Amino acid sequence: MDIEEIAKKVTLKDLRPIAKEHGIRTSCVKKIDIVKQLPEDVLEELAGRE
């Protein structure tokens, strides 16, 4: 699953706490930009969610 598909699948409400854990800014940033900054292991976990 690529980054765009993950960004479409995950809601911003679910993404914010994950981004905060990794020190990624969440205000005034698009969801796709947050997803691009996440580590690879977190992306795999998000891709596995259904």
Mean pLDDT of 12-39: 95
d(CA 48, CA 19) in angstroms, rounded, equals: 17
Element (H, E) at 19: helix 12-21
Ramachandran class of 25: left when φ > 0, alpha when ψ lies in -120 to 50, beta otherwise = beta
Q: What local confidence, expressed as pLDDT, does residue 39 receive? A: 96
pLDDT of 49 over the 90 cut: no
pTM beyond 0.75, yes or no: yes
